[in-house]
Amino acid sequence: MRVSIAILFLLLASPATAAPQVTIAQGTLAGTSDTGIDAYKNIPYARPPLGLWRWRSLQAGPRWSGVRDASAFGPICPQEAQGLVARANLPQSEDCLTLNVWAPQGGAKHPVMVWIHGGGFSQGGASVPLYDGAALARRGVVVVSFNYRLGRLGFFVLPELTQEHPGEDFANYGLLDQIRALEWVKQNIASFGGDAANVTVFGESAGGVSVDILMTSPRARGLFARAISESGPALGGVVSLGDAQRDGLAFAAKLGASGPGALKKLRAAGVAQILAAGDEEIDPILDGTLLREDVAVAFAKGHAAAIPYLTGTNSDEGAMLNGDSAEWLTKPLGDQLASVRALYETGGKLSDTDFGRLLFNDHLFAASARLLAGFAARAGAPSYVYRFGFLSARAHMRAETGVPHGGEMSFVFGFGPLAPFAPPQDVAVEDRMQAYWTNFARSGDPNGPGLPLWPKFSGPAPSTLVIDDKTEAVPDFRKAQLDVALRQWSLKTGMPLP
């Protein structure tokens, strides 16, 4: 009897925490709670792209009766797993169009931050552990992440597809998914305490490019109020509809699907077959509706949404070259190569490898950020540019000389389980980055108490916030080097620089 009474006392003294619930138009969700944050995962925001719905613009997500378990992530979209995805060993399925929400407990009208993952439009997923939204949510914002179709399942066109459903969007299915997710947020986020009128989209790499594309697309207008593009190489990187159709026909032929009925055969093909045949580079397609023109040209023409815009890059994006030749960057310089190289060798002679890495960094990334921010500022949008160069304690242990592609993300999302072991200087930079990002989401201005001043990117010598051992605004940061790439872009497109 004494044991039974003791067990009863423990049960009464430590009741199990009830799962938080929220009801949206589709039905009721049961999530999880942790330290002031409620999380809801694996919420379907669009019809599954299965069978005849493969390569279709999708309708809203399904409804359900009863209470849907939203305590665990759903599978990510099909891909050849690499990097973070491979290390996390995440499950995959073509039924992958789900999103996740982290929300502060209590209150309403919280700013909303919608994350778009990167991965070259062929990799990645919302459930990568690095993208946990809890740390940002504890700063008073609602965080949303989602999966979108990738590779040939997400970016693909055949002549047959353009004719199948007249008036329906085609080709950029992954981008259509992004818009559908943002529509879901607009319709449902108030149920989680979020402010549908104060949504910030933020993304890195292909996610950053996606942010820039969405800013230029009439289809996405009004779905978000602010934008953050991290390391998004937006100079080029789109393919014409004609080229995409030719690539699509060649891809179909690999799978033995040619002539009449090719699309039917492709829809019947297994995902593994499609992944095995889809080894070409994936780029968004100029479909004429969702994506009408090159992104940088659209910014130059004033066709981008005039909303607060924050963009920037890391100090060693060129580490992605992994020692590969950068001749494709040096060759177009022609007889200017010696003078350009001199701009980079003011501190001493560089090896061809190091020179190539710096060119890669500036021409594909830093120049893109400077150009788009300049055009956004010219259109009257408050714009901010950063350069992230802070080397963490771990980076110093590895003898890294700069921050590689994606190296800022752990400072934006937080260190997760490693937080208790992070040294004070890393924690201070993490705190600063999260404050800037959430301040921007709250008001369109990253500045706030205790933070080094981040000036708008405007005026004759616009400033870049250099985030390093010391964080400070630097006027005309690397202007001479970046102007080389920008002049090339201007000559190629015929567009004047901002």
Q: Are 356 and 329 in contact (CB under 8 A)?
A: yes
What secondary structure letter does DSSP report for 32? E
Element (DSSP H or E) covering residue 144: strand 142-146
**CA pair distance 181, 121, nearest whole angstrom:** 16
Residue with structure tokens 């820039």? Answer: 212
Residue 43 backbone phi and psi in degrees, to 5 = -90, 120
Residue 183 is among the residues annotated as catalytic for this protein: no
Assess contact for 467 and 411: CB atoms under 8 A.
no
Report how far residue 370's alpha carbon sits from residue 497's, in angstroms, rounded to the nearest whole number: 10
Residue among 199, 197, 186, 149 nearest 169 (CA): 149
Residues facing 463 on adjacent strands: 475
Has 405 been annotated as catalytic? yes
Catalytic residue among 110, 117, 363, 405: 405
Looking at this protein, which amino acid is placed at residue 270? G
423 burial level (CB within 10 Å; 0-12, 13-18, 19+): exposed
Q: What would the 3-class secondary structure string for 333-365 be?
A: HHHHHHHHHHHHCCCCCCCHHHHHHHHHHHHHH
Q: Considering 122, 205, 231, 383, which one is annotated as catalytic?
A: 205
Q: Cα-Cα-Cα-Cα dihedral of 229, 368, 175, 90, to 10°?
A: -60
Return left, alpha or beta for 119; rule: phi > 0 is left, psi -120 to 50 is alpha, else beta: left
Q: How many residues does the chain have?
A: 498
Q: Which of 317, 392, 408, 410 is catalytic?
A: 317
Active site residue 317: yes
**Nearest CA among 308, 302, 351 for reference residue 330:** 351
Active site residues: 205, 317, 405
